[in-house]
Structure 1
Amino acid sequence: MKKVGILVFVGALSLGSNAFSQTGGSTNTKPTVVFVHGLWADGSSWSKVINPLVDKGYKVISVQNPTTSLADDVTATTRAIDRADGDVILVGHSWGGSVITEAGADPRVKALVYIAAFAPDKGETAGSLAESVAPTILGGFVQNANGYLTLSREGVAKGFAGDLTPKEQDVVYAVQQPASKSVFGDVGVNAAWRTKPSWYVVASEDNAINPELEKRMAQRANAKTTILKSSHVAMLSKPNEVLDVILDAATSVSK
């Protein structure tokens, strides 16, 4: 059986350390799952779904995006695709959706999974998409330091991860990666969801990306859609449900 790689993105949150990678042994024929985080996050935002996937025999890679530009994040994601050594599924959260939409044009990418994520068309930006609907409260908690943006601790609690425990919110706040404000205007040249099968998790209680925008992007991409009663960080607050979506994509591509 051909070795398959799965790439999982993006999005606006991640907790933890450097990239995770695990192998299930030399006889492992299951796809690789590669996670791509978003803004104000790091690769550990996928921590609650990494171990269950490894336990099921999947290899996992979690990208560490610099969040300095779309091009820089796509480069980091492409390195993960290369590590996967086979076909790939990209799964991204939040801003990570923009990254997988661009990087997903790689012929090795066979499917996309969006978790409360941007899914721009050619010529669209994260900023233009956000401005196309009613604003969320998140913008009121963004702090600017020399052109790089972070979230306040109150912003994590109210606009980003409201359904996590205070201790979990402390970790989200502590590990966030400062983001260049320029990323909101970066324009991609690819819209991989137009040619690749897609899955989408809508977070109905999202205060970072308007849930109505999420639904609209999911419908436009003809994505298999799951709606969860969740904050922006569905992979942390509803990990079992998000895991089911990832596994559905993995098994569908593997058939």
Structure 2
Amino acid sequence: MSRRLKTTIAAALMVAVAGFATQPASAATARGAKPTIVLVHGAWADASGWNGVIARLKNDGYPVLAPANPLRGLASDAAYLNSLVGSITGPIVLVGHSYGGAVVTNAAADADVKALVYVSAFIPDQGETVFGLATKNEGSKISPDTIKTVPLPSGDADVYLKPENFADIFSADLPRSTSALLAVTQRPVTYSALNEPSGTPAWKTVPSWALISRDDHAIPLQTQRFMTTRAKSRTIEVTGSHAALISKPGTVASLIETAARATD
């Protein structure tokens, strides 16, 4: 092989390798142009409940995080989430389901959060509690008869939904077999977290979107409408249970992407 041919081949390989190397960087740059979506689950659930939503968001090119919400206390849960959000470069859309809505409301302070999205969620004002909002109007089936409390060494207590009541309260529009698995794997929330006053609400300064579940037996429909109206959230309503993030993943993902596009 002549020296000229070797030189030509080497040059061609260098161009090809350089081109290949720049493609992922360009793709990463394109992905970085979209806000990071942070999905926060609520009580009696875990981050896997977002799986259907995550798949759709990632398919559409959004960076996504779905951390484990500690469910130990509203201020401490919000501080944990705020630390995570602070580690993210670029704009962020915070999404909360159920109790997770109260957490994102408190976690968005001093962070580059461009939009809030509430999915069948609590949207507290300063001084309000999740338990107080849950019992504000008739319609919630959470009661001493449908929950189980487990005392903790700290003097607090973990609150579970009784397995026989889980589907009716949380996931009535899912197959019974799915609800049975969710009941077994549910993560408890502490009694103190449900009764801890909320801090300064981010929705007063950050634009918000919301999905209301009309057949929700955890947060009364009237309460959901009251909270979303007060927060001036851009709202859609669906026929479905408290578990809309699982039963309506396409609708939830679409709402999140609507909020994300508004950050451009």
Instruction: Return the match for 1:26 from 20, 25, 28.
Output: 28
Q: Does 1:207 align with 2:209?
A: no
The amino acid of 2:158's aligned partner reads: Y
The alpha-carbon deviation at position 135 of structure 1 amounts to: 4.8
The alpha-carbon deviation at position 185 of structure 1 amounts to: 1.4
Structure 1 gap segments, 5+ residues each: 1-23
Q: Where does residue 143 of structure 1 map in the other structure?
A: 148
The two structures have a TM-score, normalised by structure 2, of: 0.83
Q: Does 1:84 align with 2:88?
A: yes
Deviations 1:94-114 (A, max 9, x none): 101111111122241111100
Whole-Å Cα distance in 2 between the matches of residues 95 and 221 of structure 1? 16
Structure 1's consecutive aligned runs of 4 or more residues displaced over 3 angstroms after TM superposition are none
The alpha-carbon deviation at position 25 of structure 1 amounts to: 5.5
The alpha-carbon deviation at position 83 of structure 1 amounts to: 3.5
The two structures have a TM-score, normalised by structure 1, of: 0.86
The amino acid of 1:63's aligned partner reads: P
Q: Does 1:48 align with 2:48?
A: no
Q: Does 1:104 align with 2:114?
A: no
Instruction: Return the match for 1:216 from 214, 223, 226.
Output: 226
Whole-Å Cα distance in 2 between the matches of residues 25 and 152 of structure 1? 47
Asked whether the 8 Å contact 2:43–2:71 carries over to 1, the reply is yes
How do 1:104-253 and structure 2 match up within 5 A?
Answer: 104-139=108-143, 140-146=145-151, 147-253=157-263
Deviations 1:94-151 (A, max 9, x none): 1011111111222411111000111111111112222321251132321111111111
RMSD, matched Cα: 1.5
Give me the identity figure in percent. 36
Asked whether the 8 Å contact 1:34–1:80 carries over to 2, the reply is no
Q: Where does residue 15 of structure 1 map in the other structure?
A: none
Whole-Å Cα distance in 1 between the matches of residues 28 and 93 of structure 2? 21
The amino acid of 1:101's aligned partner reads: T
3-state SS of 1:58 partner: coil
Whole-Å Cα distance in 2 between the matches of residues 116 and 26 of structure 1? 33
The amino acid of 2:37's aligned partner reads: V
Whole-Å Cα distance in 1 between the matches of residues 41 and 150 of structure 2? 21
3-state SS of 1:116 partner: strand
In terms of Rg, which structure is larger?
Answer: 2
Structure 2 gap segments, 5+ residues each: 1-25, 152-156
Deviates more, 1:186-195 or 1:200-209: 186-195
The alpha-carbon deviation at position 156 of structure 1 amounts to: 1.6
3-state SS of 1:205 partner: coil
3-state SS of 2:66 partner: strand
3-state SS of 1:100 partner: helix
Deviates more, 1:235-244 or 1:24-33: 24-33
3-state SS of 1:26 partner: helix
Which structure is higher in helix share? 2
